[in-house]
Amino acid sequence: MDEILEILENDGRTTAEEIAKMLKLKPEAVKKTIKNYEKEGVILKYKAVINREMVRDADAEARALIEVNIVPQKDVGFDKIAERIYSFPEVSSCYLISGTYDLLVIVEGRNIHEVSRFVAEKLSCLENVRGTVTHFLLRKYKENGVILKHKEVNKRIAISY
């Protein structure tokens, strides 16, 4: 991968001037390269990695990894049903995977009940869906290469003998 892309992927706040210094290039050349990547759709979005546990109550949202077994459609394979699934606003990510299941879908909701309702009422009843397995995320330790620190919530009483 291009060194400019690697730097931006690691920290999207790195300026063109900083990248130019690191790579011994002219800032104008780096800016032009970045603009071309954005125009071509190589760079789709700049995003902050937020440790939500540090900002709000951890119970205020639920995220689930859902394995989906589907029947591929003639002439379009998995693409058409994957497109139907990733079009739901509850779906934050959707991947075609190898193994026992065909798709890995990441779903977000305000709580476990909302995510469960999505699976029961929208996802599992789709025509080409043969089965699902839902795994609720209980805690994130690392995301996008960033180790997340957790609030200290130790309410245990110290006991000494």
Three-state DSSP class for 136?
strand
140 confidence band (pLDDT: 50, 70, 90): confident
A 10 A CB-CB count for 66 gives 23
Give the whole-angstrom CA distance, residue 16 versus residue 61: 36
Q: Where are the domains of the chain?
A: 3-40, 57-140
The domain made up of 57-140 has a fold known as Alpha-Beta Plaits (3.30.70)
Average of pLDDT values for 123-148?
91
> What does the pLDDT read at residue 125?
95
49 pLDDT more than 90 = no
Q: What confidence tens digit (pLDDT) does each residue in 68-111 have?
A: 999 998 888 999 999 999 999 999 999 999 999 999 999 999 99
Q: What's the farthest any 2 CA atoms get from each other in the chain?
A: 71
> What does the pLDDT read at residue 60?
59
Give the whole-angstrom CA distance, residue 112 versus residue 104: 18
Between 20 and 49, whose confidence is greater?
A: 20
